[in-house]
């Protein structure tokens, strides 16, 4: 912590000078999450915050699609990305042509697109969703068949709880797809009494083996409400690190998987973009306008 202190001090001072805020995703490392973020949360919470926060500059401590979402919702603000290569395997799995392909295959079905996508893909979709509102949004569609892109596991997990015929694009998250149901069964056997909590980007048999599944904010709420003696979070490693000190009564145990994209963000890079103004995220205004309709439709349904 001591070695981080000069960076934290410099970043917090520069934020005031630039009238900037840092939006930190739950998967940021603790020194970013606790040390410099003004608002922390899951994808939905950060998108909603981007649209109503009073600031000239947003530094997105997260991945690129999150920064694009902030720019789409706040075109008048400067949005800075500490590392332009902080991508996402889901966002890279589909282009707008993929949406056209699905529309041609399932004519008339609405397209519900996960926010983990580029602005072009959002613009080609009817509405967005995050893992915290996906079921609600799919169920609210008028059509019996609903297209979900690009996460096949999120789609399968939604389908298992919905009366809709959910068809989907075959994308996946490289972090959550690594977990297997066998891992969870073995872990439970070796560590009886541990509560297993999985993100819905995990395969359905993993989710079925878990005690609870939810978005990163859903996971925080579940652990806060339930306060299990021991918990294993079947998600990105920083999630447990960030909430462990708020919940000293819970013992966070077990292995975790690291997101190589989220881990590209560091205090040094945040300081650099705040100082230099480099790495501004821009979205073509025509694309942004269409993408905004998809994101706003989701936000309106989630309030
Ligand atoms: P949340 O919306 O649950 O924060 O998920 C974002 C993400 O990228 C998970 O891998
Ligand atoms: Fe994308 Fe998975 Fe990383 Fe989230 S954890 S940013 S879904 S690769």
pLDDT (0 to 100) of residue 83: 98
Q: For residues 24 and 60, what is the distance between their CA atoms, to the nearest angstrom?
A: 7
For residue 299, tell me if it sits in a domain.
no
Q: Of 140, 171, 202, which residue sits at a domain end?
A: 171
96 lies in a domain? yes
Distance 17 CA to ligand 2 centre (A): 32
12 plus 78 within the same structural domain: yes
CA of 54 to the centre of ligand 2 (A): 28
- Which pLDDT score is estimated for 303? 80
Does pLDDT of 190 surpass 90?
yes
pLDDT of residue 284: 98
> Does 189 lie in the same domain as 130?
no
Query: What residue owns the CA closest to ligand 2's atom 1?
Result: 88
- Domains identified in the chain, total number: 3
Tell whether 71 is covered by a domain. yes
| 186 and 252 belong to one structural domain | yes
Per residue in 148-173, pLDDT (tens digit) is 999 999 999 999 999 999 999 999 99
Percentage above 70 pLDDT, the chain: 99
Give CA angle at 62 (57, 66), nearest 5°: 70
**131 annotated to bind ligand:** yes
Q: Do 125 and 51 fall within a single domain? A: no
pTM for this entry: 0.96
Please work out whether the CB of residue 202 comes within 6 Å of at least one atom of ligand 2.
Answer: no
Structure-block tokens of residue 68: 């694009």
Same domain, 79 and 37: yes
Mutate to test the pocket of ligand 2, among 67, 239, 262 (most ligand atoms within 8 A of CB): 262
Using one digit for the tens of pLDDT, what is the confidence trace for 227-239? 999 999 999 999 9
Q: By residue range, what is the domain housing residue 154? A: 91-171
Q: Please indicate, yes or no, if residue 220 is contained in any of the structural domains.
A: yes
Give me the DSSP letters along the chain. Answer: -GGGHHHHHHHHHHHHHHTEEEEEETTS-HHHHTTT-SEEE-HHHHHHHHHH---SEEEEES-HHHHHHHHHH-TTSEEE-S-TT---TTGGG--HHHHHHHHHHSTT--EEEESSS-HHHHHTSSEEE-TTTHHHHHHH-SSSEEEEESBHHHHHHHHTT-SSEEEE--B--TTGGG--HHHHHHHHHHSTTEEEEE-TTS-HHHHHHSSEE--HHHHHHHHHHH--SEEEEESBHHHHHHHHTT-TTSEE-S--B--TTGGG--HHHHHHHHHH--SB----HHHHHHHHHHHHHHHHHH-
Worst-scoring range by mean pLDDT, 1-5, 55-59, 133-137, 166-170?
1-5
Q: How many Cα atoms are found within 13 Å in the side-chain-facing hemisphere of 170?
A: 0
pLDDT attached to residue 2: 58
The reply, when asked if residue 88 is annotated as ligand binding, is yes
Q: Does the structure show a pLDDT above 60 at 67?
A: yes
Minimum CA distance residue for ligand 1 atom 6: 43
Closest ligand to residue 264's CA: 2
167 & 148 share domain: yes
**275 annotated binding-site participant:** no
Question: Is 292 within the bounds of a domain?
Answer: no
* 97 and 64 in a common domain: no
Whole-number pLDDT of residue 65: 98
Q: Supply the mean pLDDT for the chain.
A: 97
Is the residue at 289 inside a domain?
no
**Could you tell me if 108 and 146 lie in one domain?**
yes
Q: Rounded to whole angstroms, how far apart are CA atoms 69 and 42?
A: 13
In a domain, 300, yes or no: no
Is the model's pLDDT at 242 over the cut of 60? yes
- CATH, residue 21: 3.40.50.10800
Are 182 and 150 members of one domain? no
pLDDT in tens, 243-277: 998 999 999 998 899 999 999 999 999 999 999 99
CA of 131 to the centre of ligand 1 (A): 7
Residue 240, ligand 2, Cβ within 6 A: no
Q: What is the pLDDT of residues 70-123, one digit of tens each?
A: 999 999 999 999 999 999 999 999 999 999 999 999 999 999 999 999 999 999
Q: Residue 101: inside a domain, yes or no? A: yes
List the residue whose alpha carbon is closest to atom 2 of ligand 2: 173
The ipTM, to two decimals, is 0.97
Q: Mutate which of 89, 131, 134 to test ligand 2's pocket (most atoms within 8 Å of Cβ)? A: 89
Residue 194 and residue 231 share a domain: yes
Residue nearest (by alpha carbon) to ligand 2 atom 7: 173
Residue 259 Cβ < 6 Å to ligand 2: yes
Check whether 201 is labelled as a binding-site residue: yes
Residue 262 C-alpha to ligand 2 middle, in angstroms?
7
């Amino acid at each position: 912590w001591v070695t981080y202190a000069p960076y934290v001090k410099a970043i917090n001072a520069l934020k005031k000078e630039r009238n900037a805020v840092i939006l930190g995703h739950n998967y940021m490392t603790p020194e970013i999450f606790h040390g410099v973020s003004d608002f922390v949360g899951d994808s939905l919470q950060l998108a909603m915050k981007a649209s109503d926060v009073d600031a000239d500059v947003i530094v997105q401590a997260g991945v690129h699609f999150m920064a694009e979402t902030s720019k789409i919702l706040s075109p008048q603000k400067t949005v800075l990305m500490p590392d332009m290569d902080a991508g996402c395997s889901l966002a890279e799995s589909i282009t707008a042509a993929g949406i056209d392909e699905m529309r041609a295959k399932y004519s008339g079905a609405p397209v519900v697109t996960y926010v983990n996508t580029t602005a072009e893909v959002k613009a080609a979709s009817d509405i967005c969703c995050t893992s915290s509102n996906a079921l609600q949004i799919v169920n609210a569609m008028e059509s019996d068949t609903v297209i979900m892109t690009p996460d096949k596991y999120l789609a399968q997990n939604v389908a298992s709880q919905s009366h809709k015929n959910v068809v989907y694009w075959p994308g996946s998250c490289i972090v959550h797809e690594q977990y297997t149901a066998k891992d969870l069964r073995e872990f439970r056997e070796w560590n009886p009494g541990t509560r297993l909590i999985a993100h819905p980007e995990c395969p359905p048999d993993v989710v079925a083996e878990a005690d609870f599944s939810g978005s990163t904010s859903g996971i925080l709420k579940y652990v806060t409400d339930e306060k299990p003696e021991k918990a294993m979070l079947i998600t990105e490693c920083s999630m447990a690190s960030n909430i462990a000190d708020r919940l000293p009564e819970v013992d966070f145990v077990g292995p975790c998987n690291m997101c190589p994209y989220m881990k590209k963000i560091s205090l040094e890079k945040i300081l650099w973009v705040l100082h230099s103004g480099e790495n501004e995220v821009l979205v073509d205004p025509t694309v942004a306008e269409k993408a905004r309709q998809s994101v706003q439709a989701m936000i309106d349904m989630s309030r």
